[in-house]
Amino acid sequence: MDSKILLVLCVAGVVAGDKRPTFYGPPQFSSEESGPVQYNFNWAVDHDPSGNEFGHQESRDNDNTKGSYSVQLPDGRLQTVTYYVDGDSGYLADVQYQGEARYPDSDEVRSYAPPRPTYG
């Protein structure tokens, strides 16, 4: 008798575990979320002690996106990328550099030596 009850409980558990949750389905969007896309943002960093300058600005109106970002390169130049995206036309970028590339003299270059192994 006990084995029959155990068998019925096992079968009921398998059947209950096989049911898929009913909350799965395509995402539901409100009409506000499917409206035209518009945003505008920008940020910038100017860190004098390290000489780092970088930033990003972008604006979008429906399928038209445009913006630019800049970064201070290790060789001293400022790289600025200005881009434009119009629908399915792809990402069109214009890259500009300001300043002259500077490389340190051989006396200024630090050499790297891996740490010496220590055995305990």
In this structure, are residues 102 and 76 in contact, taking their beta carbons and an 8 Å threshold?
A: yes
Return the number of other C-beta atoms located less than 10 Å from residue 16's C-beta. Answer: 8
pLDDT level of residue 28 (50, 70, 90 thresholds): confident
Tokens of 99: 């300043």
Q: Read off the pLDDT of residues 93-118 as tens digits, 9 standing for 90 and up.
A: 999 999 999 887 766 666 667 888 88
Q: What is the pLDDT of residue 63?
A: 85
In this structure, are residues 42 and 56 in contact, taking their beta carbons and an 8 Å threshold?
A: yes
SS3 32: coil
Is this prediction's pTM over 0.85?
Answer: no
Phi, psi of 80 (to 5 degrees): -125, 125
What single string gives the DSSP state of each residue in 5-18? HHHHHHHHHHHHHH
Q: What is the pLDDT of residue 1?
A: 66
State the burial class of residue 78 (Cβ atoms within 10 Å of its Cβ: 0-12, 13-18, 19+).
middle
Q: Read off the pLDDT of residues 53-66 as tens digits, 9 standing for 90 and up.
A: 889 999 999 889 99
Average pLDDT over the chain reads: 81
